[in-house]
């Protein structure tokens, strides 16, 4: 008896790819050299250099938690929500840093705001899916 819908695996594979892209983006961001940062506009340099360490760590937690949580979803593991909560916490902290940092606000355009909103919505949807995994697995237990 399989209570997992047919759409489950393709959606979760997309989630893994989405979060892998996020990991790549954070890694690329953390790998910028001083010369590469110097090639950015002054406003972008100010935003990059004014980021608090906790915001950078929050970004890493967001993408790593999302990737590992999505991999657990792929395995239909009921522990996925733990990592997806960590990811959501990282996203919220990252968003708070955008609000608090005037340099970051100066360079955020509507596209970046829409993207951050999309990231938040996807994280919430994956967290809900993590709880559905628990529900479906419990329903599969013999009674």
pLDDT in tens, 22-64: 999 999 999 999 999 999 999 988 988 989 999 999 999 999 9
The domain limits of the chain are 8-138
Give the long-range contacts of residues 117-120, CB within 8 A, separation 24 or more: 119/22, 119/62, 119/91, 120/88, 120/91, 120/92, 120/95
Quote the pTM value: 0.91
CB atoms within 10 A of CB 30: 10
Confidence of residue 140 (pLDDT cuts 50, 70, 90): confident
Q: Count each helix (H run) and each strand (E run) in the chain, helices first.
A: 7, 0
Distances (CA, A) of 85 to 28, 35, 50, 116, 117: 24, 36, 27, 17, 17
Percentage of the chain exceeding pLDDT 70: 99
Supply the pLDDT for residue 9.
96
DSSP 141: S
Supply the pLDDT for residue 1.
62
Supply the pLDDT for residue 122.
98
Are 70 and 122 a contacting pair, CB within 8 Å? no
């Amino acid at each position: 008896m399989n209570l997992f819908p047919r759409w489950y695996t393709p959606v979760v594979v997309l989630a893994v790819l989405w979060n892998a892209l996020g990991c790549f983006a954070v890694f690329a961001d953390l790998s910028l050299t001083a010369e590469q940062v110097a090639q950015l506009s002054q406003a972008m340099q100010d935003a990059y250099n004014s980021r608090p360490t906790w915001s950078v760590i929050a970004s890493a937690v967001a993408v790593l938690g999302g990737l590992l949580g999505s991999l657990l979803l792929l395995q239909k593991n009921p522990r996925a929500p733990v990592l997806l909560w960590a990811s959501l916490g990282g996203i919220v902290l990252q968003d708070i840093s955008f609000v608090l940092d005037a340099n970051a606000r100066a360079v955020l355009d509507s596209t970046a705001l829409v993207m951050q909103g999309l990231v938040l919505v996807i994280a919430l949807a994956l967290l809900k899916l993590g709880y559905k995994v628990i529900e479906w697995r419990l329903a599969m237990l013999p009674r």
